[in-house]
């Protein structure tokens, strides 16, 4: 073959991207994903999709060099435990899990399979890890908030309801962080001279009973922190709260988007994308115990102005100016 023909032949070979070329090397890896939500939940499907898209950007593509095994369990703890056991039986290289409750289940079932958690509240006090900077065990991941957020959420509620003198925390006591969260809530309420009410709930009927009981007295507002049960029933909750014309703040932007008055919390998409970076590092040989547990870096205030108008609540201009998103 002449030199000129050889050069032309080489030039005709496609220049595949580096990520695509590296995908061809090595065995197929396996990533488990445990989500305590129903599979038809479009919001959480979007979150999982953001994880997989970020992993693809990092060079891990389904069917090429990685297989994803998903388990969508709802908040039924028996199904969560069964889903965790199913994933572990597949011997994955790493499992990504959403929520403190589901992470606690995996912590009980394995001390060897690498686990990257997303949206855990206080991993030290609840015994998931012993040190944030160096978790040491098989778990690491990303926290959804820290305790000062409770006080900030109550402060925001007081800005829109100046006569507010009491607040209720709606939470599921099955969440391992409930003891910690209730303590933070009561301390934050006392600092703002608010009477604190704790409302443990597990299902829609209990949520309805708690709200109807609380609304019997005036000048109250509701606080819903990030919780699987609250998020699953977000449309029911926002309709119930609107019916009783109560001001409320939520820890999830998805609930403000579903009709809730406002939310203050972590950028969830960012959390999933950051989780993908840890999955990538573990698949490339790093140990989860060497990867520090990270706290949130971004909080977003979302105000649903349409809901505020329906409730006849005036949002102060200064608060509107602070909002990261205003839904009209």
Half-sphere exposure in the Cβ direction for 239 (13 Å, CA): 5
Reported as a single tens digit per residue, the pLDDT across 98-118 is: 999 999 999 999 999 999 999
State which residues form the domain around 253: 148-266+299-327
* pLDDT of 9 higher than 80: no
Residues 184 and 79 in one domain: no
Residues 242 and 271 in one domain: no
Backbone torsions φ then ψ of 248, nearest 5 degrees: -150, 150
What is the pLDDT at residue 16?
34
Residues 196 and 128 in one domain: no
* pLDDT of 136 higher than 70: yes
What is the pLDDT at residue 162?
86
Assess contact for 135 and 292: CB atoms under 8 A.
yes
Residues 70 and 114 in one domain: yes
Dist. CA 139–CA 84, nearest whole Å: 14
Residues 95 and 154 in one domain: no
Question: Regarding beta strands 262-266 and 299-304, do their DSSP bridges make them parallel or antiparallel, or are they unpaired?
Answer: antiparallel
What is the pLDDT at residue 71?
98
Structure tokens at 76: 């039924």
Assess contact for 164 and 193: CB atoms under 8 A.
no
Which residue blocks in the chain are alpha helix, DSSP H? Answer: 3-11, 18-23, 42-57, 77-89, 100-109, 148-160, 178-191, 204-214, 228-232, 234-243, 253-257, 268-283, 305-310, 317-322
- Please compute the mean of the pLDDT values over residues 274-284 and round it to a whole number: 98
Torsion angle, CA of 268/269/272/278, rounded to 10 degrees? -110
Residues 201 and 79 in one domain: no
Residues 176 and 307 in one domain: yes
Residues 124 and 207 in one domain: no
* Mean pLDDT of the chain, nearest integer: 92
Q: What percent of the chain has pLDDT over 90?
A: 86
Torsion angle, CA of 174/179/181/182, rounded to 10 degrees? 110
Residues 99 and 209 in one domain: no
Structure tokens at 81: 């435990």
Structure tokens at 36: 């305590």
Query: Among 14-23, 56-65, 78-87, 152-161, which is the least confidently predicted range?
Result: 14-23
Dist. CA 25–CA 23, nearest whole Å: 6
Residues 102 and 65 in one domain: yes
The domain that contains 13 carries what CATH number? 3.40.50.2300
Residues 31 and 107 in one domain: yes
User: What does the longest C-alpha to C-alpha distance in the chain come to?
Assistant: 92
Residues 10 and 111 in one domain: yes
Assess contact for 98 and 118: CB atoms under 8 A.
yes
Q: What is the pTM (predicted TM-score) of this model?
A: 0.88
Query: Among 17-21, 149-153, 163-167, which is the least confidently predicted range?
Result: 17-21
What is the pLDDT at residue 2?
39
Half-sphere exposure in the Cβ direction for 78 (13 Å, CA): 0
Number of domains observed in the structure of the chain: 2
Dist. CA 163–CA 313, nearest whole Å: 12
| pLDDT range class, residue 298, cuts 50, 70, 90 | confident
- Please compute the mean of the pLDDT values over residues 288-297 and round it to a whole number: 95
Assess contact for 201 and 240: CB atoms under 8 A.
no
What is the pLDDT at residue 31?
98
């Amino acid at each position: 073959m002449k030199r000129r023909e050889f050069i032309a032949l080489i030039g005709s070979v496609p220049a595949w991207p580096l990520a695509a070329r590296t995908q061809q090397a090595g065995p197929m890896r396996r990533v488990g994903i445990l989500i305590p939500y129903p599979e038809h939940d479009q919001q959480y499907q979007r979150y999982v999709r953001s994880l997989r898209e970020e992993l693809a950007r990092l060079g891990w593509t389904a069917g090429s060099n990685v297989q994803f095994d998903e388990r969508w369990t709802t908040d039924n703890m028996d199904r969560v435990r069964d889903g965790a056991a199913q994933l572990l039986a597949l011997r994955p290289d790493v499992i990504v899990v959403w929520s403190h409750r589901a992470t606690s289940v995996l912590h009980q079932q394995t001390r060897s399979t690498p686990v990257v958690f997303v949206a855990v509240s206080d991993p030290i006090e609840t015994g998931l890890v012993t040190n944030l900077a160096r978790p040491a065990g098989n778990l690491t991941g990303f926290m959804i908030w820290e305790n000062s957020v409770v006080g900030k959420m109550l402060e925001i509620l007081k800005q829109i309801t100046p006569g507010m003198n009491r607040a209720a925390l709606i939470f599921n006591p099955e969440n391992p962080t409930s003891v910690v969260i209730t303590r933070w809530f009561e301390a934050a309420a006392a600092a703002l001279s608010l009477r604190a009410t704790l409302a443990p709930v597990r299902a829609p009927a209990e949520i309805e009973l708690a709200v109807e009981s609380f609304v019997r007295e005036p000048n109250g507002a509701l606080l819903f922190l990030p919780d699987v049960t609250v998020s699953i029933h977000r449309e029911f909750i926002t309709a119930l709260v609107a019916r009783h014309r109560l001001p409320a703040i939520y820890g999830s932007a998805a609930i403000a988007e579903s009709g809730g008055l406002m939310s203050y919390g972590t950028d969830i998409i960012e959390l999933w994308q950051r989780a993908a970076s840890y999955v990538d590092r573990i698949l490339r040989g790093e140990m989860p115990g060497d990867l520090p547990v990270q706290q949130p870096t971004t909080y977003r205030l979302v105000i649903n102005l349409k809901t505020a108008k329906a409730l006849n609540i005036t949002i102060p201009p200064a608060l509107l100016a602070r909002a990261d998103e205003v839904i009209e």
